[in-house]
């Protein structure tokens, strides 16, 4: 039996193979890739070119018959244990009729996957009354990035906020502790970026003249000699791992970046990625949303003697 699935907002920009594996229990990567080669998997009646093709909200994904897998696997989330429920509730900064703003802890993935038991999209169910729809993701942060994240409370709000992110009206400001100090106190990185496969089957984002446009503004807020710096970052585009790759390429990788940097930071800092989503603002939001760095990030600033003023927003005048 042929399957047709409408792509929900929470799966927007997700890889097609990942979405299919989530929806159908037991489907293998090999089966997906073979079906794509044979032209049997289509999005809006157009053949997928590769397993990594990105899906679009509202698309109709058509699949060939799946032996003993003719219906989507039920999406039943396990019961949230009290400790996790408390953690996610304590991370709420602001709640309105349209959205919930969280200060996401580092180490928690935004979205579930085959190896992810708990993620923000699943834990969000703890934020609403039992029996009501869980809030929906409208954007994502890397698992190891902490900070401000929005969950939409309704499908209409999800579409509206999603459109704001896509139109780049959403202004985002991050904090990062870098190993090394940029040459200039402020500036802009404009290296183009492209995703390339790794020998082990994953993906790495690399600087490449043939890649997609990527623009990052930065300001140096404080330094520890030439060893460390605290930067405010404004990504004007939203490429995967953009901040991490731009900083690493320009000789100042983010402390604790095991993928693009030098890995475990020195000076007895806790081993984590020191990248924090600090601020979000958009035209309809009169007052910017702020998520202050967590205790671990703040402790690292203290160890290094780096100063951050929570009352100073270095990019407020740039909106």
Give 174's contacts (C-beta < 8 A, 6+ positions apart). 147, 232, 233, 234, 235, 243, 275, 276, 277, 278
Of 142, 217, 222, 319, catalytic: 142
Residue 227: how many CB atoms within 10 A of its CB?
13
- How far, in Å, CA of 92 to CA of 94, rounded? 6
Q: Where are the beta strands (DSSP E) in 50-207?
A: 60-63, 92-95, 99-104, 136-137, 146-152, 171-179, 186-189, 193-197, 203-207
- Residue 142 is a catalytic residue: yes
Three-state secondary-structure class, residue 295: helix
Structure tokens belonging to residue 133: 């729809």
Hey, which residues are catalytic here? 142
């Amino acid at each position: 039996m042929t399957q047709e699935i409408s792509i929900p907002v929470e799966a927007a920009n997700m890889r097609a193979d990942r979405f299919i594996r989530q929806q159908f229990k037991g489907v293998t990567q090999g089966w997906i890739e073979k079906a794509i080669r044979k032209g049997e998997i289509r999005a809006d009646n157009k053949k997928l070119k590769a397993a990594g093709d990105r899906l679009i909200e509202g698309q109709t994904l058509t699949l060939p018959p799946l032996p003993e897998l003719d219906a989507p696997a039920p999406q039943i989330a396990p019961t949230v244990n009290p400790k996790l429920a408390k953690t996610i509730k304590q991370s709420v900064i602001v709640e309105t009729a349209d959205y919930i703003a969280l200060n996401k802890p580092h180490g928690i993935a935004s979205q579930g996957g085959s190896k992810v038991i708990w993620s923000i999209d699943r834990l969000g169910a703890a934020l609403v009354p039992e029996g009501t729809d869980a809030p929906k993701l409208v954007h994502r942060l890397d698992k190891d990035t902490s900070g401000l994240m929005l969950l939409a409370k309704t499908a209409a709000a999800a579409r509206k906020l999603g459109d704001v992110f896509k139109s780049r009206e959403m202004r985002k400001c991050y904090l990062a502790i870098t190993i090394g100090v940029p040459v200039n106190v402020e500036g802009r990185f404009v290296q183009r970026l492209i995703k390339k496969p790794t020998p082990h089957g994953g993906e790495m984002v690399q600087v490449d003249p043939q890649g997609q446009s990527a623009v990052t503004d930065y300001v140096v807020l404080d330094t520890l000699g030439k060893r460390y710096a605290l930067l405010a970052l404004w990504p004007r585009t939203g490429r995967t791992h953009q901040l991490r790759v731009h900083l690493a390429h320009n000789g100042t990788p983010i402390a604790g970046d095991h993928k693009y940097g030098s890995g475990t930071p020195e000076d007895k800092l806790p081993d984590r990625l020191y990248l924090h989503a600090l601020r979000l603002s958009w035209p309809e939001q009169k007052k910017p949303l702020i998520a202050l760095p967590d205790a671990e990030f703040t402790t690292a600033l203290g160890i290094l003697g780096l100063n951050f003023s929570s009352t100073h927003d270095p990019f407020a005048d740039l909106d």
